[in-house]
A and B are shown apart, each in its own frame.
Chain A
Amino acid sequence: DADVTQTPRNRITKTGKRIMLECSQTKGHDRMYWYRQDPGLGLRLIYYSFDVKDINKGEISDGYSVSRQAQAKFSLSLESAIPNQTALYFCATSDPGQGATGANVLTFGAGSRLTVL
């Protein structure tokens, strides 16, 4: 099994629908992230969580919400999807580790491709 699992892997939906993307991890990491990838724009951070009670907005949080249900689970919701939210979404985890060498290396899921019509 993958260390970071995202579901669904592909989803097509219509404008105005509510969508949830789920992420679960077996790494035992406290830190979890949601990024979206768009061609030519790289990865942009949507939300991140450093532990179950800590949720932070990233660069582009408008139109999104998250829930950290447990250390291992971090879900991303689009309350009312719009076409410009069509993108590839990645969940990632990290552990700062001990000392400088831990340095927050990210482990990524395989991605969830969302298309909003």
Chain B
Amino acid sequence: AQSVTQLGSHVSVSEGALVLLRCNYSSSVPPYLFWYVQYPNQGLQLLLKYTSAATLVKGINGFEAEFKKSETSFHLTKPSAHMSDAAEYFCAVIGNRDDKIIFGKGTRLHILP
């Protein structure tokens, strides 16, 4: 069965600093991996997805994530944080297209002025 673990339920960074949100996955087959973002009082929206086409995936709003099979990781990064990035971020995994999608517990990102 597939699963994801997000390290850190809360992360605080200063405006302009590097954002790093960690996600490790477990999958018995090559996975599809996703990052979703939830802004306050909204549903989730897709930031980016990994589907084996390229290990470095670029998403919206300047975010990117790198798939590292040897480390079973799919960490999310952004070079320079903006106040508008304050939100909750969820990593998700699916083992194949005919399977259900499993989410991590989420990481709430706080941006300090």
Do A and B interact?
yes
Q: Is the CB of A106 within 8 A of B44?
A: yes
Q: 4 shortest A-B CB distances, which residue pairs?
A: A108-B43, A42-B105, A43-B103, A96-B97
Main secondary structure of the interface of A (DSSP, over half): strand
Instruction: Sort chain B's interface into a size bin.
Output: 20 to 34
**A residues apposed to B, CB below 8 Å:** 4, 33, 35, 40-45, 48, 50, 56, 58, 90, 92, 94, 96, 100-106, 108-111
Q: Is the CB of A42 within 8 A of B97?
A: no
Q: Is the CB of B43 within 8 A of A104?
A: no
B10 to chain A: closest CB distance in Å? 10
A34 to chain B: closest CB distance in Å? 11
A38 to chain B: closest CB distance in Å? 10
Contact partner of B97 (CB less than 8 A), chosen from A44, A103, A108, A111, is: A103
Q: Is the CB of B51 within 8 A of A103?
A: yes
Docked complex Cα distance between A40 and B100 (Å): 21
- Chain A: which residue is nearest B6 at the CB level? A42
Docked complex Cα distance between A103 and B36 (Å): 14
Q: Which residues of A contact B104 (CB under 8 A)?
A: 42
Docked complex Cα distance between A50 and B100 (Å): 10
- Chain A: which residue is nearest B97 at the CB level? A96
Q: Is the CB of A110 within 8 A of B97?
A: no
